[in-house]
Amino acid sequence: MNKIITFLLLLSVGLTQAQQLNCTVTVNSDKLSNANQQVFKTLETSLNEFVNKTDWAGQSLKQSEKISCSMYITIESNNSDQFTATLQVQSSRPIYNSSYSSPVVNFNDKDFSFRYTEFENLLFNPTSFESNLVSVISFYSYIILGMDQDTFVFESGDSNFEVAQNISNLAQQSGYKGWSQSDGNQNRYFLINDLLSGSFSTVRKSSVDYHLGLDLMSKDLKLAKEKIKGTLLDLGKFNSSKPNAFLTRIFFDAKSDEILSVFSGGPSSNISDLIESLNKTSPLNSSKWEMIKY
């Protein structure tokens, strides 16, 4: 009975006219010489319509409530209807009582290849693999939805992550890179499996606490900074037991510039312990941590 219910829920995705994403999809073909640019313009238009007009989650939102995001596709090579590319996925969510939007997703997928014929229909079927183009774009649409929900309520993104995992499972037999654990340790396979693994729940809990701290900034800046600091120290403790975790890296890829900004102004506090923790947890951003004034 549960399998039937799950199937019906998945089947209902995309059948109505509600939309949840306000996404700008860009296709850049500057690296190609003598390419038919019209194909890429058509692809860009089709992808924008696909992402923004598909009902991913069965929820109707006002324009101002939709998740702001972008997908930037850089075409690396092209042979007839075969394309290899990279995909930069970004999203943000508004911070309470401010005009500021905080980055949530900032991920670069380097294993993006697909087949595309101009004017072909892009349709998402949650029960089968249609094309790698549709699967990858649909996968990240659900990642954006789930990670946005996770900034408000702990593990509230699970329903969207489960659809993303279903997409991943269906795509694994396609032969395209990025869906299998044999393709590397920082790809779509590990992204969705880590998000749904209890072993990494600390990172997801940190996302909630961190953004609740940002939401407090308009009311009590000092308290907000202390809450954010505590969250980052918790990530440091998690890093001690699971160093260089994929989800931890993803968190700091999105948040490093924001963390620098948060702790470089406003009420002063002792954050020497935080700087030490950040250097251990995210050493790739050590140059930014050195710029924090305290």
pLDDT score, position 4 = 37
Read off the pLDDT band of 64 (50, 70, 90). confident
User: Residue 17 has what pLDDT?
Assistant: 45
Q: How far is CA 235 from the centre of its chain?
A: 19
Q: Which residues pair with 128 in a beta bridge?
A: none
The answer to whether 255 and 274 have CB atoms below 8 angstroms apart is no
If pLDDT is split at 50, 70 and 90, which confidence band does 253 have? very high
pLDDT of residue 82: 96
Indicate the pTM of the whole model. 0.92
Assign residue 192 a region (left: φ > 0; alpha: ψ between -120 and 50; beta: otherwise).
Answer: alpha
Among the residues of the chain, which ranges form H helices? 2-12, 37-53, 132-149, 158-171, 188-195, 201-216, 221-241, 246-262, 272-281, 286-289
Signed CA dihedral, 230, 233, 239, 241: sign only: negative
Q: State pLDDT tens for residues 22-60.
A: 999 999 999 998 888 999 999 999 999 999 999 998 877
Q: Helix, strand or coil for residue 293?
A: coil
Would you kindly state where each structural domain of the chain is located, as residue ranges? 2-196, 200-289
Task: Output the pLDDT for position 294.
Answer: 65
Q: Which of 5-9, 184-188, 228-232 has the highest mean pLDDT?
A: 228-232
Q: Residue 199 — very low, low, confident or very high, per pLDDT cuts 50/70/90?
A: very high
